[in-house]
Amino acid sequence: MNSSSPETVPEKTPEIVIDARGHHCPVPTLRLRKALAAALPGQRLVLLATDPMARVDVPHFLNESGDLLLDLQAEDKVLRFSVEKRGGAPRS
């Protein structure tokens, strides 16, 4: 019997990686929004972006959406946003 409910993330659910390197805003944020719409609450997502404006746009979007920015790292001009889906069931 599966003890996880349909609205929560099973323990071994892989994180979703969104590769938006080479795209200018708003593309990274739009791709993140689409991935979050399909994600389960508690699921982790990683957004990779090279547009410096993503550093501003992504946190602003997450503030509006209610999802959680766990971490932001920058290495070799690549921004790596670690995000957790919050809220209800996936939106379609």
Catalytic site includes residue 25: yes
Alpha helices in the chain (DSSP H): 27-38, 54-65
Q: Is the pTM of this model over 0.95?
A: no
Mean pLDDT for the stretch of residues 12-18: 89
CA atoms of 21 and 30, how far apart (whole Å): 13
pLDDT tens for each residue of 25-75 = 999 999 999 999 999 999 999 999 999 999 999 999 999 999 999 999 999
Query: Which residue among 9, 16, 25, 53 is the active-site one?
Result: 25
Q: Could you state, in order of their start, the residue ranges of all structural domains in the chain? A: 16-84
Token pair 């997450």 is found at: 62
State the CATH class of domain 16-84. alpha beta
- pLDDT of 88 reads 62
